[in-house]
Chains A and B, each alone.
Chain A
């Protein structure tokens, strides 16, 4: 009797589709995956250990390096945690700037995901289209804080830089442009039969599994769980905007795709309202001491990042450095379900499944 041989295949750490230094050891029979073991840690930089010797403001640049595709959210979660502990009220204008930058970041992050996901599936053009739009967002953020990826923009109590003249107008102009492009994206990709065949019914999990595996973000919402911390536990000024939380029922790669695409639209809505309500005057930084010393105690604060719930735990002993700092990194939690999803799958689906989770290795490895 003929027997096909089992083969041990190392996907990564330098594979084009692992989106960074991520290794996946898979056991395949023919093209069917029998077992998958993720190996992570190649990008571990010990942010948490480093932070124990840094003042709070000094930690902010380190957070930029975690989820480097949406660094504003990382900035925010740290600042927000410290502000909550120290009971600091952030001026309105700063909150609006924060929301605008965070939502811009969310769109940019989803655009990168969209482009690279289609690149994984073999389509080259969407990648370039997505990066063209992302470039505009990055230019906007660059104008604001002088950096394209590692912004270091937020501070405890507000933001570092005020919006330059004409910046808000540029953001306002970007919104209808992005809507139009989004329409083009759907025209190009969303209806494509080949694409649909690649993503529909691929990497499916149920609502219960998603919750059990602590998935968050679009990975959770694609199973029909309507959970978005911006709505459920409003932080910052998100309760001032009307926006929807897109959900799907199927729980496959396709529904994740749909959720993310719709999230871009919702983010555009938030941006539109934020630009319209933007206070014309006011401080951008609350009156906080030069050296921030949160009271003794601990806090764990979560917010909604493009990839899911990002959390920041601070244990303070009342000194200017945190006693212990820990980030809940959504990609780290979201990636856990991968071995389960890959079991028994086709080798070609590996890419479609891994890509749909939307991980950033800087975040997975901390």
Chain B
């Protein structure tokens, strides 16, 4: 494996993504956590870019960093969150947890290492947005439409729930 620019970029982005994930768990203030999450999201978008999936990358930033985190920040800042986290479980639990994580990591490592992805000749760098569009509206049109209906239902449901809350107050 030679040191290329791509490699360096990937290492950097992956590092930030993992760091963001760890900080998300380790930080104590909720707002800090969300910001750590933003860093993870943005680095993942960068990795998408490296994979020539520019559309997915841009949408990742647009939706996750742009919209979702802001809504989360909103919720956190505007609501009362004085309650501090409870003290974590005892030592045995911690050890068990660590073992579990190690086991999972090992399994994933083995799984990926042994996985043999058949290399297909693809034209990655060309008009992938168009390709996504064509795929969505021809081959996957039914799942796509179903998904939009599902989201719509979720939206309506959320509004109804919020309204009920209001009246109850």
Contact = CB atoms under 8 A, between A and B. Distances in A.
Chain A in direct contact with chain B (Cβ < 8 angstroms): yes
Interface string A1-22: 1111100000000000000000
Interface string B40-80: 00000000000000000000000000000000000100111
Nearest to B79: A2
Contacts of A176: none
A1 B80 contact: no
A30 interface: yes
B25 to A, nearest CB: 24
A1 B165 contact: yes
B159 to A, nearest CB: 14
Interface residues of A, number: 6
Contacts of A2: 75, 79, 165
A330 B78 CA distance: 40
Nearest to A1: B165
Interface of A: 1-5, 30
B82 to A, nearest CB: 10
B165 to A, nearest CB: 6
A114 to B, nearest CB: 37
Contacts of A30: 78
A3 B80 CA distance: 7
B78 A4 contact: yes
Contact of A5 (B79, B165, B168): B79
Contacts of B80: 3, 5
14 contacts: A1-B165, A1-B168, A1-B169, A2-B75, A2-B79, A2-B165, A3-B79, A3-B80, A4-B78, A4-B79, A5-B78, A5-B79, A5-B80, A30-B78
From DSSP, what is the main secondary structure of chain B's interface residues? helix
Given A3-B80, A4-B78, A30-B78, 11 more contacts: A1-B165, A1-B168, A1-B169, A2-B75, A2-B79, A2-B165, A3-B79, A4-B79, A5-B78, A5-B79, A5-B80
In the A-B complex, the 3 residue pairs with the closest CB atoms: A2-B79, A5-B80, A4-B78
Contacts of A4: 78-79
B10 to A, nearest CB: 40
A325 to B, nearest CB: 52
A30 B75 CA distance: 12
Contacts of B168: 1
Nearest to B169: A1
A207 to B, nearest CB: 35
B64 to A, nearest CB: 22
A73 B4 CA distance: 82
Contacts of A3: 79-80
Nearest to B77: A5
A3 B75 CA distance: 10
Interface string B116-132: 00000000000000000
A4 B79 CA distance: 5
B3 to A, nearest CB: 50
Nearest to B82: A5
Interface in B64-103: 75, 78-80
Contacts of B79: 2-5
Interface string B155-169: 000000000010011
A22 to B, nearest CB: 29
Contacts of B75: 2
A30 B78 CA distance: 8
A2 B168 CA distance: 12
B6 to A, nearest CB: 45
A110 B169 CA distance: 45
